[in-house]
Amino acid sequence: MREISPLDGRYADAVGHLSAYFSEFALMAARCEVELRYLVALDEIGVFPKLTRAEKARIEATRVLTDEDFARIKEIESTIRHDVKSCELFLREKLELAHPNRIHFALTSEDVNNLAYALLLSRYRDREQLPQLRRLVAALADRVKRWKSVPFPARTHGQAASPTTFGKELAVFLHRLVRQGRQLEALRFRGKLSGATGTYAAAVVARPDVDWIGFAARFVTDLGLDPVACTTQIDDGDGLAEYFAGTSRINNIVLDLDIDLWEYISRGDLVHRAVSGEVGSSTMPHKVNPIRFENSEGNLGVSTALLHALADKLTHSRMQRDISDSTVKRNIGVALAHAYLALQETLGGLDRVDLDAAELQARVDAAPEVLAEAYQTLLRVAGMGDPYEALRGLTRGRTISLAELHAWIDDLPVDAKLKARMKALRPSAYVGLATALCDRVTAEAAAWLAA
């Protein structure tokens, strides 16, 4: 294969279907859709003589762009070197309207382009991105439920810390993703339709009797977008930047998940199942590598870097406009496709992760020093002078057994009941409200998934 991008080569099977939103063909089809819908909207306010029934039928028949149509547009573009003008000339040929000047009437290219991109991105968000995020949320929720009570060795600063459960640790990511999912779902894409420098000048000079601001707002709203009230020639890019920022936050949450799971696998906290027929190393036959999480991590890095660059670039324009944004926008699909590929890899990695509950409990109980927090907290309530300092001297920087801790408890100037309570504590049971937190977060996820 001779593709430049791995998205179109190595990963084509995973992301090839996204060409429905991010290819040159998809963009051209969306431009034509905007032009055709604009024709119909113009007809409704009587700027030109009414379309005939036959003309309306031809407009309707042209709504689906064919390969032949696309080839013709590109043929025109090869001569005139202007993509949106090529759409206009193609539609003049194709529709054979009695008044062809109504096509692209009082529009600038960016009126068409910004609406086309917004349509494609809103459809990608609704048809691909959100459903994939919901699959990841559902997969995490399933595992949080299954593993909510399984003790897990926690690490802060890489050192043994107060234990947790593995379900609760996954619930942290689940909670974050549900919040971002709600925000992504609520985001409204924006669009403008206000002419060459955002003043509606051409439309007003031709038909000063029409409420062009109201017309544009209705048209943009009918596309499922929010109208931008005041712009230069181009949309300000703020709405796109908000979308890219939201997607970047999701990327970073999944990246955090990938890295933690990779670390847990590397320490032996998690079981990483082998797949029959796979090879983990060209020289070390025993290897079972967590490559799905590694692939996800790499693709998330590429995606997030591009999304940040897009957000920075597309919110700047020289005066009323320059064309540097145009070539940059063509990379939107690259950024989003890398994110989509990454989440697919994370989902695949999750399918290969399992737990050995007995082994994890043994690991947690093998570090009784983590009970120092529980002991000093109980002793604070009991009124002991400075239990933190006493336990710091006993436990900090050294391995200590449960028997040694119990011997220390025996010498404490507290009542026997409290001593018995302290001795009954085990690290694997010192997980606080982890199970309740899991229940709360999975209920939250279920509510979003059912909405």
> Residue 280 has what pLDDT?
61
Task: With cut-offs at 50, 70 and 90, classify the pLDDT of residue 147.
Answer: very high
- For the segment 371-394, the average pLDDT, to the nearest whole number, is 91
pLDDT at 279: 64
DSSP letters spanning 150-216: SEEEEEETTEEEEEEEHHHHHHHHHHHHHHHHHHHHH---EE----TTSS-HHHHHH-TTS-HHHHH
Contact 313, 234 (CB under 8 A): no
Query: Looking at the predicted structure, is the pLDDT value of residue 1 above 90?
Result: no
Residue with tokens 């009082």: 106
**Which sequence positions are flagged as catalytic?**
157, 281
| pTM of structure | 0.93
Tell me how long the chain is: 451
Structure tokens at 289: 């590598």
Taking CA 313 as the corner, what is the angle to CA 252 and CA 108, rounded to the nearest 5 degrees?
A: 125
What are the beta bridge partners of residue 155?
A: 160
Tokens representing residue 253 in the block: 């949450």
How many of the other CB atoms lie within 10 Å of CB of 44? 12
Confidence band, pLDDT 50/70/90 cuts, at residue 277: low
pLDDT band at 343 (very low <50, low <70, confident <90, very high): very high
Question: Is residue 281 very low, low, confident or very high in pLDDT (cuts 50, 70, 90)?
Answer: low
What does the block give as tokens for 229?
Answer: 């009230």
Would the pLDDT of 285 be above 80? no
Structure tokens at 212: 């062009």
> How high is the mean pLDDT of the chain?
93
The C-alpha angle 68, 105, 67, rounded to 5 degrees, equals 10
Of 169-173, 315-319, 415-419, the one with minimum mean pLDDT is 315-319
Quick one: 84 exposed, middle or buried, by C-beta within 10 A (0-12, 13-18, 19+)? buried
Of 254, 15, 297, 248, give the one whose Cα is nearest residue 5. 15
Q: Residue 110 corresponds to which tokens in the numbers above?
A: 């960016």
183 token code pair: 């925000």
pLDDT at 410: 93
CA-based torsion, 126, 132, 135, 136: positive or negative: negative
The dihedral through the CA atoms of 262, 263, 266, 270 has a sign that is: negative
CA distance 447 to 451: 6
Other Cβ atoms within 10 Å of 227 Cβ, number: 18
In order of their start, the domains of the chain are 1-104 (1.10.275.10), 107-359+435-451 (1.20.200.10), 360-429 (1.10.40.30)
Q: How wide is the angle at C-alpha 227 spanned by C-alphas 23 and 217, nearest 5°?
A: 115
CA 224 – CA 127 distance, rounded (Å): 14
In whole angstroms, give the CA distance from residue 271 to residue 264: 9
